[in-house]
Amino acid sequence: MLHKNCGWALACALFAPVQCALAAVQIEAPPAVAELLRRYLLVAAQDIDSSDPLARANFLREARREAGNLLAAEGYFSPTLQLGAGLRPVLKVEPGERAHIASVRIEFSGAIAARASAQPERMERLRKAWLLPAGAAFRQLSWDEAKDALLADLTSLDFPAAAYTLTRAEVDPAAASVEILVEVDSGPAFRFGRTEIEGVKEYPAGLPQRYGSIAPGSRYSRERLLDLQRALQNTPYFSTALVDIDTDPAQSEAATVHVRVVESTARHISFGAGYSSNNGARGEISYRQPNLFGRAWNLQSTLRLEMRHQLAFTDVLLPPAAGGFRDGYGALAESTDSNGLDTRRVKLGWLRTRTLGALETSYGLSLQRELHDVTDGDYTRRDALAANASWTWRSVDNLLDPRSGQVINLQLGGGLKLLASDQNFVRGYVRYQRYQPVGARDTLMLRGELGMTRAASSDGIPEEFLFRAGGTGSIRGYAYQSLGPREAGAVVGGRLLAIASVEYVHWLQGDWGVAGFVDSGNAVDRRGDFVARTGYGVGLRWKSPAGPLAFDLAYSRHEQKLRPHVAVAIAF
């Protein structure tokens, strides 16, 4: 009588007249392959009657088949297996010598190798980039990855219909070597043809092409297709976008570009709550309508209430125009109570933006009226019609979690009394942030800010065009916007700003890190009044889905106080 469960072996020994020899097999193998065999050698999980020669022979035959396949995938082609005796039989596995690549030969055919259109430099680069070179250990996974990488590289430019005609890894088990032969046909070189758009019903028919057009006759590039696809997916107008071409070799001279989209026309209402060390508790409600008046105008409205700051705004953002420029129009009402200064303002504005690679530019015009109070209800009015320009250059390895690179922001603006402003002024501002990796896990961050508003005095200039310092993102250890000139006991904006900051972050295991930092600087109205205020401290960092969260405890050297600060540490 055969038993499939080892738990019955005891009962068999107690009650049966013959000894039962059923047991699972124990695997003994070198560390390099032991875990692989214990996890995936299915036959070893079966019970075996080690006293039965037929059962042992059947087991060894199946074990050699399974183990041979598993070990071959890791480059071992001459394993030996021995099954010991006893109630708990041991399967000894010797994998043999691991095979290495003896030679690699990659041959090209098709347009890439044709005399009239040959690309010898590219063929040589593809050969050098092969991921499984001579001398490397052979693994099935590495073999598959090398083939995939070569074909992906070849099909990324000019040759989307490229395909393998032969891929062979010839194994010599006795020599523990593998000879690789790869033959690939590039097919014809492709050029883009006309663009066909599917799925646009509610929006203007040409809306997708506003985010990038592919010129007919230009050479095929997968990156060009992906750029357009990403641009469409990042708009508020489409929930899904797919951009590809016909890869029929007969259409290679003018391959049709297919743009398939699924529209998103739903209105959205969202609610939010939070807390910041700068403005305290926050609650907000937002509304979005992406197809205002059926013209693909994106309406965005928000009401935000904070302990020291209240804001309501409405923006209408237009789709990109020729040259990639995007126009937006907005209205804003805001109230702020900070360090004795009470400001209320309304603002109308126009802004034109464009992003080209790492450079984002914006130009705008705003008309605002600000009510300015430092004496308990005695408001003074400040009007400004200001032109502004901003240039931001981002070159970082990761926008949400930068560890290497730099970001530079330059702003220039001003207003004239002749054009509805209460004061003639010119404002300039520059901010530089550097991310420098240190070792495998640490990051050094350097930040500098300089600002100047040229004017006869700060009288009549809205706070938006002046400078204050202190708080998260500025000089930690001091209250938000608590550094600046004083007027009747309140902190007001000054015409000069200078800040420098050094921060070192050491990432621990997982998503947590620790940081140490020093911030120093000030905002003043006259150069002779400048005295640096310094804060320093330590903090925790957490890699949240929204980016690294910073929890800091900073000490203000001038005030001799400890203050907590909370922020999302993203590349501005």
Tell whether the model's pLDDT for residue 7 goes beyond 60: no
The per-residue pLDDT for 11 is 33
**Stretch 120-135: mean pLDDT, rounded?**
95
The per-residue pLDDT for 278 is 81
**Stretch 112-119: mean pLDDT, rounded?**
85
Highest mean pLDDT out of 111-115, 152-156, 291-295: 152-156
Distance separating alpha carbons of residues 266 and 362, to the nearest angstrom: 29
Give the phi and the psi of residue 526 in degrees, each rounded to 5.
-130, 145
CB 497 within 8 A of CB 523: yes
Give the phi and the psi of residue 297 in degrees, each rounded to 5.
-85, 125
Higher pLDDT, 282 or 50: 282
The per-residue pLDDT for 10 is 33
- In whole angstroms, what separates CA 281 from the centre of its chain? 29
Higher pLDDT, 254 or 92: 254
Q: Which residues contact 11 (CB under 8 A, 6 or more apart)?
A: none
The per-residue pLDDT for 87 is 61
Q: 366 falls in which pLDDT band (50, 70, 90)?
A: very high
The per-residue pLDDT for 340 is 87
What percentage of residues in the chain have a pLDDT greater than 90?
Answer: 70
The per-residue pLDDT for 460 is 94
Q: Is 347 helix (H, G, I), strand (E, B) or coil?
A: strand
- Domain ranges for the chain: 7-94, 100-185, 192-263, 266-306, 388-568
To the nearest 10 degrees (0 to 180), the angle between helices 53-73 and 31-40 is 120
Distance separating alpha carbons of residues 125 and 133, to the nearest angstrom: 13
CB 217 within 8 A of CB 206: no
Same fold, 192-263 and 388-568: no
Tell whether the model's pLDDT for residue 396 goes beyond 70: yes
Side-chain-side CA neighbours of residue 361 (13 Å): 7
Least confident of 41-45, 127-131, 293-297, 434-438: 41-45
Higher pLDDT, 79 or 86: 79
Distance separating alpha carbons of residues 6 and 404, to the nearest angstrom: 58
Q: 71 falls in which pLDDT band (50, 70, 90)?
A: confident
What is the overall mean pLDDT for the chain? 89
Q: Which residues contact 418 (CB under 8 A, 6 or more apart)?
A: none
Q: 50 falls in which pLDDT band (50, 70, 90)?
A: low
Least confident of 28-32, 420-424, 488-492: 28-32
The per-residue pLDDT for 5 is 40
Q: 199 falls in which pLDDT band (50, 70, 90)?
A: very high
Distance separating alpha carbons of residues 211 and 231, to the nearest angstrom: 6
CB 29 within 8 A of CB 95: yes
Q: 61 falls in which pLDDT band (50, 70, 90)?
A: confident
Distance separating alpha carbons of residues 535 and 259, to the nearest angstrom: 54
**Stretch 86-110: mean pLDDT, rounded?**
88
Distance separating alpha carbons of residues 311 and 286, to the nearest angstrom: 12
CA end-to-end span of the chain, whole Å? 75
Q: Token pair for residue 569?
A: 């540490």
CB 471 within 8 A of CB 481: yes
Least confident of 258-262, 437-441, 545-549: 545-549
The per-residue pLDDT for 523 is 98
Cβ atoms within 10 Å, residue 511: 12
Distance separating alpha carbons of residues 307 and 285, to the nearest angstrom: 16
Higher pLDDT, 18 or 55: 55
Q: Token pair for residue 111?
A: 């347009």
Q: Tell me, what DSSP letter sits at residue 98?
A: B
Distance separating alpha carbons of residues 188 and 250, to the nearest angstrom: 9
Distance separating alpha carbons of residues 252 and 158, to the nearest angstrom: 10
CATH class of 192-263: alpha beta
CB 555 within 8 A of CB 477: yes
Q: What is the pLDDT of residues 282-335, one digit of tens each?
A: 899 999 999 999 999 999 999 999 988 999 999 999 999 878 899 999 999 999
The per-residue pLDDT for 91 is 80
Strands 268-276 and 280-292: antiparallel
What percentage of residues in the chain have a pLDDT greater than 70?
Answer: 92
User: Residue 471 region, left (φ>0) first, then alpha (ψ -120 to 50), else beta?
Assistant: left
The per-residue pLDDT for 8 is 34
Q: What is the pLDDT of residues 481-539, one digit of tens each?
A: 999 999 988 999 999 999 999 999 999 988 899 999 999 999 999 999 999 999 999 99
Least confident of 152-166, 363-377, 427-441: 363-377
Higher pLDDT, 307 or 546: 307
Distance separating alpha carbons of residues 117 and 120, to the nearest angstrom: 10
Tell whether the model's pLDDT for residue 12 goes beyond 50: no
Tell whether the model's pLDDT for residue 6 goes beyond 60: no
- In whole angstroms, what separates CA 265 from the centre of its chain? 27
CB 542 within 8 A of CB 507: no
Q: Is 197 helix (H, G, I), strand (E, B) or coil?
A: strand
The per-residue pLDDT for 262 is 95
Tell me the three-class secondary structure of 352-410, residue by residue: EEEEECCEEEEEEEEEEEEEEECCCCCCEEEEEEEEEEEEEEEEECCCCCCCCEEEEEE
**Stretch 445-470: mean pLDDT, rounded?**
96
Specify the CATH architecture of the domain 388-568.
Answer: Beta Barrel (2.40)
**Stretch 139-163: mean pLDDT, rounded?**
96
The per-residue pLDDT for 22 is 43
**Stretch 192-216: mean pLDDT, rounded?**
92
Report the candidate in 541, 527, 531 with the shortest Cα–Cα distance to residue 569. 541
**Stretch 332-340: mean pLDDT, rounded?**
92
CATH class of 100-185: alpha beta
Q: Is the pTM of this model over 0.85?
A: no
The per-residue pLDDT for 570 is 55
Q: Is 67 exposed, middle or buried (0-12, 13-18, 19+ CB in 10 A)?
A: buried
The per-residue pLDDT for 404 is 95
Q: Token pair for residue 14?
A: 């107690």
Q: Is 315 exposed, middle or buried (0-12, 13-18, 19+ CB in 10 A)?
A: middle
